[in-house]
Structure 1
Amino acid sequence: MRVEPDIATVARAIGEPARAAMLLQLMDGETHTARRLAEVAGIAPSTASAHLRVLCASGLVHATDAGRRRLHRLAGPEVAQLVEALAALAPPRLPGSLQPSPPTDALLTARICYGHLAGRLGVDIAARLRRDDVVPALEPGGTAAVPDLHHPLLAELGIRDLDPARPAVRACVDWSHGAVHLAGALGAALLTGLLAAGWVRRRPAGRALRITTTGRKCLAELGF
């Protein structure tokens, strides 16, 4: 007898607003305490702990002890892919008539997506590297090798080799722009390089990134 996967259990774990908010925060690829995730979700820490137990039991979140603190993170990249894919299908939280026009949310411009670059900047860089034959055109979720890293952007960011322990590049659906940005080793290297060069900065809270004046100047000089 064929045993079907129990997707309902995972769906129930995600399908609660506070837990969904926690998962979106954990998309930054960092570890967070229950107190921090409670602030994000707008609930009490004791309530957050109960929600986090559900997320851990469903295999979406891992928790580890660090001294007196208990830290939580996404269980893996496959969970991040699931959250990003759901975000692409989900409606905005506000009715369309209340959405800013044009959108001004910093998340739309540049953000962290589980250790790689997303948002308009991530989509634009992915499109440019495809056009310049650095990466191939990929369907969402597809992976490929990157045999040649010779490109002005990669040279400026000091990207000369990639982590061999992970796929060189994976196409990740960008929920905010209906296109793909780059995950995998190249996506992680791009984010690391942009941060190290001071072209983008982390904002005080959340996943959004700020493109600096230096970053805008350098990107413009490269044709972005």
Structure 2
Amino acid sequence: MPAEPDIASVAQAIGEPARAAMLLQLMDGDAHTARKLAAVAGIAPSTASSHLRRLRESGLVQVAEAGRQRLHRLAGPEVAQLVETLAALAPPRLPERLQPDPPAGPLLRARACYGHLAGQLGIDIAMALREDGVIGDLAPGETGVLHSFDHPLLVALGISELPDAGPAVRGCLDWSHRTVHLAGALGTALLTALLGAGWVRRRPGGRVLRITETGRRRLGELGLV
């Protein structure tokens, strides 16, 4: 008989605060050095190596050589989904009245979530596409189909096709608002197109996305901000 999954070992790997901070940083979908992840976690680079080794051994993080650098990223979308779901269940680390507005406020408005758009902007776009019949209703982790590219937002961003790999649409539970934003190939295409059009910009050193003046105007014209 197959053995039961060892959930406890994965939970223990995630449950250490420094490792949890590293995983949250890797939710931006990029690859990072141990030094960068150490800074995010507030620990020494020498200490970060042992934490990253534990995350690799647990199947949560993978590493690749890039010249002299070793770059770490999440092991796959299933890990990102796990981290986002845990974040939605977790209480804030500080009472709400003590949470700093920067960067908490911008993080809630728009951020990268493993290659797709999260935060209030991601939720608003998912809601608009549902209401206009482009996608169906989605529950967290549920996959769906894209019914049409004929939508003002998709047309404005030049999105007219998606890669065949993976689901076109997937619901991702947004920890900051306890509702669903859009993942899957369409979610990735939207974030890529928003960045390419200059409607949003990445803020250095984190997952926060800044809506530019151009983006605010164009999204406003579409009723999305």
* In structure 1, distance between residues paired with 2:70 and 2:2: 39
Q: Secondary structure at the match of 1:167?
A: coil
Q: How many residues align?
A: 223
Q: Which residue of 1 aligns with 2:128?
A: 128
* In structure 1, distance between residues paired with 2:200 and 2:155: 17
**When the two structures are superposed, what TM-score results if normalisation uses the length of structure 1?**
0.96
Q: Secondary structure at the match of 1:65?
A: strand
Q: For residue 147 of structure 1, what is the amino acid of its counterpart?
A: H
- Check if 1:88 corresponds to 2:94: no
Superposition map of 1:1-40 within 5 A: 1=1, 3-40=3-40
Greater Cα offset, 117-126 or 91-100: 91-100
* In structure 1, distance between residues paired with 2:90 and 2:97: 17
* 1:8-57 Cα distance to aligned partner (Å, 9 max, x none): 00000000000000000000111111001001001000000010000000
Q: For residue 91 of structure 2, what is the amino acid of its counterpart?
A: P
| Structure 1 unmatched runs, 5+ | none
- Give aligned-pair identity as a percent: 71
Q: Which residue of 1 aligns with 2:75?
A: 75
Please state how far the C-alpha of 1:117 moved relative to its aligned partner: 0.3
Q: Which residue of 2 aligns with 1:198?
A: 198
Q: For residue 60 of structure 1, what is the amino acid of its counterpart?
A: L
Q: Which residue of 1 aligns with 2:51?
A: 51
Q: Secondary structure at the match of 1:62?
A: strand
| Structure 2 unmatched runs, 5+ | none
* In structure 1, distance between residues paired with 2:70 and 2:134: 41
Please state how far the C-alpha of 1:60 moved relative to its aligned partner: 0.2
Greater Cα offset, 143-152 or 30-39: 143-152
Q: Which residue of 2 aligns with 1:155?
A: 155
**When the two structures are superposed, what TM-score results if normalisation uses the length of structure 2?**
0.96
Please state how far the C-alpha of 1:2 moved relative to its aligned partner: 5.1
Please state how far the C-alpha of 1:165 moved relative to its aligned partner: 1.1
* 1:150-200 Cα distance to aligned partner (Å, 9 max, x none): 000000000000111121000000000111011011000100111111110
Q: Describe the shift of the 1:104–1:58 C-alpha distance in structure 2 as closer, same or farther (beyond 3 A).
A: closer
Q: For residue 184 of structure 1, what is the amino acid of its counterpart?
A: G
